Amino acid sequence: MQGMLVLENGVVFEGRLIGDLKQTYGEVVFNTSMTGYQETLTDPSYAGQIVIMTYPLIGNYGINADDFESHRSHVSGFIVGELCPTPSNFRSVFTVEEYLKSQGVVGLADIDTRHLVRIIREHGAMKAYIIPKSLECNIKLLEFPELSKNLVASISRKTRATYEPSNVKNQNNHIVIYDFGLKQSLIRSLHALGCRVTVVPYNMTVDELVKLCPDGVLFSNGPGDPMNLIDIAPELRKVAELFPTIGICYGHQMLALAFGMTTRKMHYGHRGGNHPVKDLRTGKVYITSQNHGYVIEPESLDSTEMIVTHVNVNDGTVEGIRHKSLPVFSVQYHPEACPGPKDTLFFFEDFIRMINHNRERCEAICPK
């Protein structure tokens, strides 16, 4: 069945509908990764978005049973240049189209993704519809309302859950993750270091947190504008003032808001596995995985206790911050990235070292 992508600026692309053959609506963004489409489809940070994969051939290794980042797909739509109908991989259990159908996700294939991405780069991320071509007569009637401001609330878990590492003998720390839309790779990365992990709702109070006696706290990745959750910033600050705390991506932005900084929407964001980030403390440059459409305003750090530790080499945006005196730091990129790159996995080891250095402080709050 033929389908159409209708951008809010009036540009229309025609292609072949794939997955669940229906109409969908969302913000169109693009991902430059050469692999990892399964992780992209199941990353909660893409909630509300129609994702363009810039790599020309998608689906050649299928969908396997192990690399999901959450229990379902969160994208509003999926756009590819060429879709491979016959994957070749011993781990494959579904084709991409079979998976899209099972998740109720509509996609569009056989379009000029290079041309489409150039439009997004020029005009910025914009809202759009994917519709069957049979509805072409209704294009002039389409409206482009604002997207939901409650994306985090819709995907964050409602009750807490604890996940034990497989190697229980080496268990040495209890980490609480605030779920703004976390990826399973975060849990896997902490399990690899012997940590027991408890995932809690994004709006858990500090009083409830103290009862869990964490050794450290992590604010996870997630979708949407962090300013939509500005009301919980004071509570997050209390958390960070009590326990060693780190933030990743959306969690990095929420940590910034908690300490008085501000954020802004980017023209078209950073999404892909090839973004260079410079550590200002060492001068080293790391290739990182990223997925965000908002960044910290660097000028807003001037009146805070935070300092910039990392910047994006391409555009100079803030990629990492650290508190001057508290055991608190965060990064905009994804050190837990799967399929990669793995340049910054040491981020979690730095977290554990910070926890060990501040263990007496935590034990004074939560005697064990």
pLDDT, averaged per 10 consecutive residues of the chain (368 residues), comes to 95 96 96 96 97 97 96 97 96 97 97 97 96 89 92 95 79 92 96 95 96 96 96 97 97 97 96 96 96 95 92 97 97 92 93 92 75
pLDDT digits (tens, 9 = 90+) for 2-29: 999 999 999 999 999 999 999 999 999 9
Q: According to the model, what pLDDT value does residue 258 have?
A: 97
Cis peptide before 339 (omega within 30 of 0): yes
Q: Where are the alpha helices (DSSP H) in the chain?
A: 37-41, 96-103, 113-123, 151-155, 184-191, 206-212, 233-242, 250-258, 346-357, 359-365
Q: According to the model, what pLDDT value does residue 368 have?
A: 61
How would you classify the pairing of strands 82-83 and 57-58? parallel
356 and 223 fall within a common domain = yes
169 and 280 fall within a common domain = yes
d(CA 226, CA 256): 10
289 and 215 fall within a common domain = yes
127 and 36 fall within a common domain = yes
Q: How far is CA 338 from the centre of its chain?
A: 12
Q: Where are the alpha helices (DSSP H) in 243-292?
A: 250-258
Q: According to the model, what pLDDT value does residue 253 have?
A: 98
Residue 340 tokens, joined? 């990669």
28 and 172 fall within a common domain = no
133 and 27 fall within a common domain = yes
| Number of structural domains in the chain | 2
pLDDT digits (tens, 9 = 90+) for 177-216: 999 999 999 999 999 999 999 999 999 999 999 999 999 9
CATH code, domain carrying 23: 3.50.30.20
- C-beta separation of 220 from 248 below 8 A: yes
253 and 360 fall within a common domain = yes
123 and 163 fall within a common domain = no
Asked about 122 being catalytic, the answer comes back as no
- C-beta separation of 7 from 34 below 8 A: no
307 and 176 fall within a common domain = yes
- pTM for the model stands at 0.95
Q: According to the model, what pLDDT value does residue 364 have?
A: 79
Backbone angles phi, psi at 362, to 5 degrees: -70, -40
Ramachandran class of 268: left when φ > 0, alpha when ψ lies in -120 to 50, beta otherwise: alpha
Q: Check 319, 336, 338, 362 and give the catalytic one.
A: 336
Q: According to the model, what pLDDT value does residue 109 have?
A: 98
200 and 348 fall within a common domain = yes
Please give the C-alpha separations between residue 251 and each of 82, 156, 159, 231, 329, in angstroms, as whole numbers: 34, 13, 19, 15, 11
Asked about 249 being catalytic, the answer comes back as yes
d(CA 243, CA 320): 19
Residue 108 forms part of a structural domain: yes
Q: According to the model, what pLDDT value does residue 171 have?
A: 64
Alpha-carbon torsion, ordered 344, 276, 109, 35, to 10 deg: -30
CATH code, domain carrying 195: 3.40.50.880
**Other Cβ atoms closer than 10 A to 83:** 23
Q: According to the model, what pLDDT value does residue 198 have?
A: 98
Q: Check 74, 323, 334, 338 and give the catalytic one.
A: 334
Residue 146 forms part of a structural domain: no
**Domain closes at, from 141, 175, 198:** 141
d(CA 53, CA 50): 10
23-32 CB burial, b ≥16 within 10 A, e <16: bbbbbbbbbb
Range of the domain at 45: 2-141
**Domain closes at, from 141, 170, 190:** 141
Q: According to the model, what pLDDT value does residue 52 have?
A: 98
Q: Check 249, 270, 292, 323 and give the catalytic one.
A: 249
